[in-house]
Structures are given as C-alpha cells and as structure tokens.
Amino acid sequence: MNKSLSLVALLLGMSCPSWAQNAAVDSLNADDSSDFSFSESQLDDDNDASQAVSSLLSSASDPFLSEVGYRFSPMRFKVRAYDNMYEQTYLNGLMMNDLELGRFSYGLIGGMNDATRNQEGAAGFEHNNFSLAGIGGATNINVRASQFAAGNKITLSGTNRNYVLRGMYTYATGLMENGWAFAGTIGYRWAKEGVIEGTFYNSFSYLLSAEKKFNDQHSLSLVTFGSPTERAQQGASTEEAYWLANSHYYNPYWGYQDGKKRNSRVVRDYSPTAILTWDWTPDQYKKLTTSVGAKYSMYSTTALGWNGDAYDPRPDYYKNLPSSVFDVYDLDKNNPEYLKDNPYLVDQWNDLYDFWKESKANRQVNWDRMYYVNSVQNLAGDETLYYQERRHNDQFTLNLNSTWNHTLDQFNKYTLGVQLNHTVGMHYKTMQDLLGGEFYYDYDKFSANDYGHGSAEHPTEAANDLRDPYKRIYQGDKFGYDYDILVNKAKLWGQWNYNRGKWNLMGAAYGEGTTIERDGKMQNGRAPENSYGKSGAAKFMGGGAKAIIAFRPFANHRIKVGLSWDSQAPLARNAFVAPRMQNNFVNNLTLEDIFSGELSWSFRFGNLSGKVTGYYTKFMNQVEQTAFYNDQESRFTYLTMTGIDKVHYGFEGALVYQVNSALSFNILASIGDAKYVNNPNAQVNYEGMNAATNAQLNKWENPVTGQAESLRVIAKDVKVGSTPLTALSLGANYNINNWYLELDVNYYNRVYVGYSAYRRLSNIINNYTGTSVDGMVSFNVDESQLKQDGGILFDPDGNVMKTYTPKLEKYDGGFMVDASIGRYIRLNGGKAISINLQFQNMLNNRNLRTGGFEQNRDDLYSTGVARAYKFSMNSKYYYANAFNAFLNVNYRF
C-alpha cells in the first residue's frame, strides 16, 4: 500500500519533465487570431478521429449504439447529429463533462485504453444505475482496481495515423485476500511525424488505482491518472490550396526552419485527476456510491500572432492564392476572350500558381521571413512584428457525485442522485516565442488602428490592461487577456423503474441550479468599467423530466416510447458577449430547452435480430457563440446567437443475421435531419472596439421604415454540419478457431459544411423590398438567386415576408471499406497473445470530407463591389484519412 501511495503521490505531482521549466510560467491554452472559431469544435479536431465520436461504445443492449461509435468514427459521425456535450461521461460514477464547454475531453484518458475498457453505457432513453442520462446517453467507466483482471498486459501498436507507435503496460493484482486491490497502467504514444505532414505526437499516460474492500459493505477506491501530451495540429484549408499542393492532406500550419518542419500550432495538454470513491452496500438491494474528484487541467495551444500592419503569415491566406487575382467562378471573366483582353490577369494567376508549385516551402509557413523581419525591428529598437503566442485554457474542477440505488422488490427500483461541481476556468495567453524579436507592446494593435494608441481623443482604448498599459512583453509573459470563468452547479435527480410482465415503465426528474461568473484579471481599455474584477453571477434554475414506456407484445419483441424535457443553463463559454475583454453577459440569456422523443422496436425473427428507432428532438432558446479573426473588419470578433431553435429527427437501425455460430452479417443505418428552424437574435462584438462603436455595428435598419430592427442571423434551414446525416453500413463477421475476421462497407452522405453565422447576418445579407401590384408583392430578384445567395424579403409596409439563407454546401457522399483480422492465442499458464490488424479506408478514398467551415467573410467590398476572391466558394475542409492500418499486439501474462 505504501508503495502504491508513494506512486500515486509521484504521479500527482508529475508532469512532462521537458515542460516543467515552463509550466509555472506558461502552462497551456487555446484560441486564435486567425480564423479560429469556438463553434468549429476545436476539441473535436484536436482529438483522435476515433475519439471524436459517440462514447456509447458499450451500450450492449443497443445493437446500433454499440457499433456506430467505432465503425463510423473515420467520418466523425455524431449520433443523431447531437453535439458531444449531450453525452455524459462518468468515471467511477463521477461526472467528467466540463462545465464550460459541456463536453468530456477524451484527451483526459488518452493512451489508457487497457485501463478504461470496463464501461457501462446507456442510451438517452435507457435506465442505468449511475446517472440520469441526457439525450445523448451516458457512459460510466469503471476504473476501480478490483475490476481489473489480475495479471500483466503489454500492448504494442503500430499505425499510420496521428501517432506511429504506442506501447502500454498494465498490471493489476485483482482483489487480494487482505481486501486490497491495485492496478496501474502506463502508456506512450509517439510520432516524429504523423500521417499528416508537419505533425508530431508525444504523449505519456498513466493511471494508478488502489482499492480497499473493508468488508461486504464498504470499500474505498482512489484513482489518479493523467496524460501529458504534446502534439502538433493539422489545419483545414481551401480546395484551391489542396489542389495546388496536390493533396487533400496539405497542412498549412507548418513550415521549414533550419531545414526541419516546424508546426505553428502545438497543443500541450495535461489534466492530472484524482477520484476517491466510497461504495457502501448495506445489503444486496441497496447501494450508495459516492465519488469526489479534483482535476487540474492545463490545456494550451500555440498560434502565430502578428502586429496590425504585418502581412498575414498564413501560407494559404487568400491574397496568396491564384484565385485572388480574378473571379475564376464568373464565366464572364473566366473565358478565353475576356482573358485575352486582360492578359495581366492570366499573368498574375500563373505567377502565383508557379510560386505555389515551385517548391513545397513556398506553400508553407515562412519562419525565416518572420525571424528576419523581427531582426530588422530589433535593429531599429522596435517591437516584434511576428510572434508565437500560447493560448491557455486551464481549468480546476472539484466535483462530487453520490448515487443511491434501491431495489424495492422484484418489480420496483429507484435511484436518487446528487451532483455538485465547482469549476474555475482560467483563460489567458502568454508569449511563447518572440521569433527572434526582443519585446512586444501589450496593446490591441487592431484597436490602435481605430483609436490610435494614446491618441488625444481616445487615450486608453487600445490598452489591454489599463493598470499597466502598453507594457513591454517578453517571453513567458501574460498579455492580451486574462480572466477566469467560475461555474457552480448543483443537481438533484431521481428515477424510478417498474418492470413487470410485458411492461417496463420508467420515470425520472431532476432539478438543478447553475451560477456563471467572470472574474477579469485585466482592465481592458475598451471596457474600463466592466472588465476588471467580478461580473456578478448569473443564476439559472433548471430541471427536467423523462418518461419511458416499454411493452413486450410477444416474445423477442419490444416496443419502447420515450419522452423527455430539459431546461438547462446555457454553457458558460457562450454566456459572455466578449469574454476575453469584458464582463457583460450576452443579451437574452435564458435557460435552454430540449424536447426529445423516440419510438423504437427491438425484435428477433429466428436468426434475424435488430432494432429500429425513430427520434425527434427540438432544441429551443439555445445560445451559440463563434469567435474568430474577422479578415473583413481586421478585428477579432464574437458573434453570439440567442433564441436558437433546432430540430433533429430521423431513424436509426441495426440488423444482425446470424448465419451460423461463425458467420453473421449486419446492417447499420442512420438517416436523419438536423437543422435550424428559426432566425436567431445576433449580437456582434468586435474585441478592438468600444461599446459605442459596437452599438453602431449591431444596427440593422428596416429598408422601408428606416426603423432599427433586432439584428438576426438568417439561419433557418441551415443544416448541422460536419457529421454525416446519412450513414449506412453493411458488415460481415466470421469467427472460427480464435480467428476473427470483419469486413465493413460503409456509405456516408449528406455531410454539410459548418456555416458562417457572420455571412448570414441580417445587415450583411441582401435585403429586398417588394412592390405591390394588384395586391401581389413582387421582388426584383429571382428565387434561384435568393436560394443561392440568401436574402430577406420585405413587403411594401416593411414587414418581413420571407427569409432565405445562403445555400449551404453539401459534400459528395462516398464509400469507405474497412476490414480487420485478429487471432487470439491461448498459451499455457493462463497467458495469451492477441493480435489484431485493422485496415481503414481500403479503397483509399481521399475525397471524403469529414468537416470544414465557411469563411467568415463576404464577397463584397464595403463599396458593394464584388471582390475578385470569392469567400463563399472557398470554404475550408478536412478530409477523412486515406488508407491506413493499425496493428495491435497484446500479451497477457
């Protein structure tokens, strides 16, 4: 025990040794001054593809959910297109979704696969003993030491994905006679260069678990784990850039420095966590599980920063691309006659094309150029123009879950639970690398363009911190922004389950209270009165209820109906109008409501079994925020939408035909729709602007009456993007003599690009006023154009008649074939070797887009004249990995 406790203490205090010298100063975090958007799911993008999907891997009772998580993972499939925040993940009964983003970060348990296999999953309309599952279901990972299989296990893996090599070692004592059980795992994942050029992977992981079973009633478990990781990222780019680079896996984030590949976006992630669990079992019908946990998450990512006047260093910046020369999508221009009359257009297009094709270095980050520019600045005694910043999103969480299960009799049981969570999110950035420069002045360079820095009329606006305005920043210093988000949540819940004869009924309800508060550590010059100190807490009282009725009309058939209603606090990350600079809450911040219902039929006809489910979910009064560098306005921009209504509906099903004990075939299908059904309110805030200027930019005037209208995003009919709304799979399994063969043919379609709310703002989209003739209102625009470019139609009295959102790009569908072969070899003495080789995307389909996003810029200058470059035609995309393999060998002894 002493040895184990010392090991626990060692690991709790341990971090990646190579960063230890920086950790106290820099630590870690994320967001961007380029085209970063919170809604573009950086968390998802950061995770391994296999982890960016549903966590419901072990919902054994659901043949659909138990399969889709892995099988559709290459396309980043999300069950019912729900955001991952609706899936709850528990460790030893402790809720681990974070309160700011709502999601569980799989990086938390990365590289601990052998230690986290013991999972219990439950769909949204399914009873479980550890939680009141949300609409996306819940998974509980049991890492109690006594639950590990006793013995040693070594796993070695080789692959051509994000990492190349993985090694894991797990040892567990099992429950010993003295009531103790110990288990531990360590792992390491590594790639000097991953499958995407310019990326690397460097991740250590550990988990230690100790448990003491005092008697039949009481046991205490302590587990601690962490996965210090450093990895480089891949960036999305436009189809034009992919074409020029001749690869859909072109990565614009890296460039050569001294002949080596240096990535501008490097994530450091380490979240040491400890969970203490007390299990009390008074008798065989009652059980109380109480877990308390603490987590200190250090997450950061680097990004290039540049002074207001410096040229954008991104290699795929639109002005570097050939299509910035003239509108190549306009056939009036892109034709031989026009180009013959305007040969300079062809010349410049060719010059840029040649530059991109001439060498790989030309289409990557030019580190030497940034270093050179900064060296010139040094000689003049000026500040650095280019730098690499580290954006930290650290978080401290203290939480408690306690769950009481009581089986009253053979028909009735109930569960009661309490959940408490205190979270402090710490958001700031530090100077990672001055790139050869000597210092940097801490004021908002974009704001200085609007207000000057220290100008007579606006002496303080550009300052990021009035308490020390315009201070010099050196490597490791905090600058730009620094604030905490404090979230507290308390939840009480209960569920009752009745199971008798053909009927199974379940009812559940909960109530919860949430407070959200910002604590500013800097006094921002654009918001001097409401940036430093605490914002005051916004309080939300929510709750919900769920009912499930299941009926078994015949043997092997079950029909289930489930209905639920939730009213939940908005996410803390969406609650503030411009969190990096000020304390103001978003206008119209209210509880978010969710109605969900499903009808399912589970069946078995001889060798054919399956389940089909129809579902409908409506989200109401939702809040979403995107934050991005706005090229158009040269400002970091927040766009918050409130009052969002969305619906998700469709059906999903699984069929399994067992030919014999060795061979089976299966079909999986998910066909649904997920879309916005209204035009939500919008609030835009430019970080570099003061309140008065921002108020001007939020204006939208009625074109007829001239009256001010509430700014909106024309989002109605926009599809939820970056997940296939159609996913089908036909699979075959053959198991014989400890050989396991699987072949899956998967088809994906209806993946939509992530939409830009900015391009759909009602004061950016075209407004049309109708004319009335004989009572009929007509407009000087074709409906086809409206459907393409979007528009708002006003009648002659100034009433909005109809809105059209700009056309949203749907990606081409396609097939992906996966296969695996495995062999289990039982050795003497209870030892065993297991070998598995997986092949993914065997057809090497390199054209399947998994996600992407529209650029937050429109196609017109402020003069109304069309730009040469068409942002609307140049979304940025991610592609599914090409053919890849994964070899896994483990030895149990």
Partner 1 sequence: MKTKYLYLIMAGLLTLTSCMDDWDKPNTDDYSVTSRTAIGEPTTTIDSLKREYSSTFKQNNSFVKIEEDIILEGVILANDKGGNLYQTLVLGQVMNDTTIGTFIDPCTCIQLAIKNTCLYPYFKIGQMVRVNLNGLYIGCYSKMPKIGQPYFTSSGNLRLGPMLMELCKTNIQLIGKPADYKDMVRPLLLTASDEFFTKASSYQNYSNVPAFVTIEGGVFADADDKAILAPYELHDAGYGVDRVLKVGNTEMTVRTSTQNDVSFLVMPKKPVRLTGILSYYDGWQLQLRSVDDMEVME
Q: Does 440 bind partner 1 (CB under 8 A)?
A: no
- Residues 147-166, one symbol each (x = binds partner 1 by CB under 8 A, - = not), give -----x--------------
Q: Kindly tell me which of 70 and 353 has the beta carbon lying closer to partner 1.
A: 353
- Smallest gap, in angstroms, from Cβ of residue 882 to partner 1? 24
223 binds partner 1 per the rule CB under 8 A: no
For partner 1, the binding residue among 39, 219, 263, 640 (CB under 8 A) is: 263
Supply the minimum distance, in Å, between the C-beta of residue 651 and partner 1: 46
What minimum distance in Å lies between the beta carbon of 319 and partner 1?
7
Indicate the residue among 154 and 505 with the shorter CB distance to partner 1: 154
To the nearest whole angstrom, how small is the minimum distance from the Cβ of residue 294 to partner 1? 22
Is position 449 an interface residue for partner 1 (rule: CB under 8 A)? yes
How far apart CA 579 and CA 485 sit, in angstroms, is 9
CA 107, CA 205: separation in Å to the nearest integer?
10
Which residue in 32, 44, 62, 450 binds partner 1 (CB under 8 A)?
Answer: 450
Pure H helices in 161-299: 239-245
Please identify, using beta-carbon distances, which residue of 266 and 720 lies nearer to partner 1. Answer: 266
What one-character DSSP code corresponds to residue 761?
B
CB 373 to partner 1: min, Å: 4
Choice between 156 and 416, CB closer to partner 1: 156
Q: Does 206 bind partner 1 (CB under 8 A)?
A: yes
Contact between 436 and partner 1 by CB under 8 A: the answer reads yes
Helix, strand, coil % (nearest 5) of the chain?
15, 45, 40
Using CB under 8 A, which of the segments 50-58, 261-269, 541-549, 807-815 binds partner 1?
Answer: 261-269
- Closer Cβ to partner 1, 209 or 564, answer by number: 209
- 3-class SS at 253? coil
State the binding string over 729-748 for partner 1 (x if CB under 8 A, else -). --------------------
Q: Which of 216, 351, 783, 797 binds partner 1 (CB under 8 A)?
A: 351
Minimal distance in Å, beta carbon 119 to partner 1?
24
117 to each of 114, 134, 144, 536, 624, how far by Cα in Å? 6, 22, 12, 42, 34
- Residue 230 within binding range of partner 1, rule CB under 8 A: yes
Assess 868 for contact with partner 1 (CB under 8 A).
yes
Which CB, 265 or 295, lies closer to partner 1? 265
Residue from 61, 119, 171, 591 touching partner 1 (CB under 8 A): that is: 171
Rounded least distance, CB 372 to partner 1, Å: 4
Cα distance between residue 507 and residue 496, in whole Å: 5
Choice between 192 and 699, CB closer to partner 1: 192
Asked if 557 and 603 touch (Cβ cutoff 8 Å), the reply is yes
Asked if 258 touches partner 1 (CB under 8 A), the answer is yes
- Residues in contact with partner 1, total (CB under 8 A)? 69
Nearer to partner 1, 127 or 857 (CB): 857
**Which CB atom, from 354 or from 529, has the smaller least distance to partner 1?**
354
Give dist(CA 689, CA 582) in Å, integer. 12
Residue 319 token pair? 């002005």
CB of 863 to partner 1, least distance (A): 5
CA distance between the termini of the chain: 23
Q: Per CB under 8 A, which of residues 776..795 are in contact with partner 1?
A: none
Cβ atoms 461, 449 nearer than 8 A: no
C-beta of residue 289 within 8 angstroms of C-beta of residue 279? yes
358-387 binders of partner 1 (CB under 8 A): 367-369, 371-373, 375-377, 385
- Is residue 352 a contact residue for partner 1 (CB under 8 A)? yes
Q: Give how far Cα 395 sits from Cα of 98, 296, 425, Å.
A: 9, 6, 4
The minimum distance between CB 460 and partner 1, in angstroms, equals 14
| 776-778 and 771-773 beta bridge pairing | antiparallel
Task: Judge contact between 122 and 93, C-beta under 8 A.
Answer: no
Full strand arrangement of the beta sheet holding 800-804: 767-769, 791-794, 800-804
Cα 342 from Cα 336, distance rounded (Å): 10
Between 19 and 839, CB nearer to partner 1: 19
Answer for which of 329, 355, 824, 839 binds partner 1 (CB under 8 A) is 355
Collect all residues with Cβ–Cβ distance below 8 Å to 13 and sequence separation of at least 6.
none
Cβ neighbours for 142, distance < 8 A, ≥ 6 positions apart: 92, 118, 119, 120
Q: How many CB atoms within 10 Å of residue 46?
A: 22
| Dihedral sign computed on CA atoms, order 242, 247, 250, 255 | negative
Question: Is the backbone of residue 240 left (phi > 0), alpha (psi -120 to 50) or beta?
Answer: alpha
Q: Does 456 bind partner 1 (CB under 8 A)?
A: yes
Closest distance to partner 1 from the beta carbon of 22 (Å): 9
Interface segment toward partner 1; rule CB under 8 A; list 200-208, 466-474, 494-502, 546-554: 200-208
Q: With CB under 8 A as the contact rule, which of the stretches 288-296, 642-650, 814-822, 863-871 interacts with partner 1?
A: 863-871
Per-residue buried b or exposed e for 833-844, using 16+ beta carbons within 10 Å of the residue's own CB:
ebebebebbbee
Does 180 contact partner 1 by CB under 8 A? no
Stretch that binds partner 1, among 305-313, 599-607, 751-759, 788-796 (CB under 8 A): 305-313
266, 426, 727, 765: which one binds partner 1 (CB under 8 A): 266
> Which CB, 267 or 550, lies closer to partner 1?
267
Interaction of residue 389 with partner 1, rule CB under 8 A: no
DSSP letter at 723 equals: S
- CA gap 686, 579 in Å, rounded: 11
When asked if residue 633 is in the footprint of partner 1 (CB under 8 A), the reply is no
Contact flags string 396-435 toward partner 1, x per CB under 8 A: -------------------------------------x--
**How far does CA 772 lie from the centroid of its chain?**
48
Verify binding: residue 257, partner 1, rule CB under 8 A.
yes
Residue 169 within binding range of partner 1, rule CB under 8 A = yes
Parallel/antiparallel/unpaired status of strands 119-122 and 94-95? unpaired
Query: Taking every pair of C-alpha atoms in the chain, what is the biggest distance, in angstroms?
Result: 93
Q: Which two tokens stand for residue 357?
A: 């094709």
**CB distance 137 to 123 below 8 Å:** yes
Smallest distance, Å, CB 167 to partner 1? 8
298 belongs to the binding site for partner 1 (CB under 8 A): no
Options 51-59, 287-295, 587-595, 858-866: segment touching partner 1 (CB under 8 A): 858-866
Instruction: Write out the E strands in 214-356.
Output: 218-226, 229-232, 237-238, 254-257, 260-263, 266-270, 273-283, 286-306
Among 410, 737, 780, 862, binds partner 1 (CB under 8 A): 862
Other Cβ atoms closer than 10 A to 563? 16
Binding residue for partner 1 (CB under 8 A) from 52, 68, 186, 527?
A: 186
For residue 445, which phi and psi values (nearest 5 degrees)?
Answer: -65, -30
Q: How far is CA 847 from each of CA 162, 728, 799, rounded to the nearest angstrom?
A: 19, 18, 44
Tell me the C-alpha to C-alpha distance, in Å, between residue 42 and each of 102, 207, 690, 833: 13, 26, 28, 38
Binding residues (CB under 8 A) for partner 1: these are 3-4, 7, 14, 16-19, 152, 169, 171, 184, 186, 188, 190, 192, 200, 202-204, 206, 228, 230, 232, 257-258, 262-263, 266, 302, 309-312, 319, 326, 342-344, 347-348, 351-352, 355, 367-369, 371-373, 375-377, 385, 433, 436, 448-450, 452, 455-457, 861-863, 865-866, 868
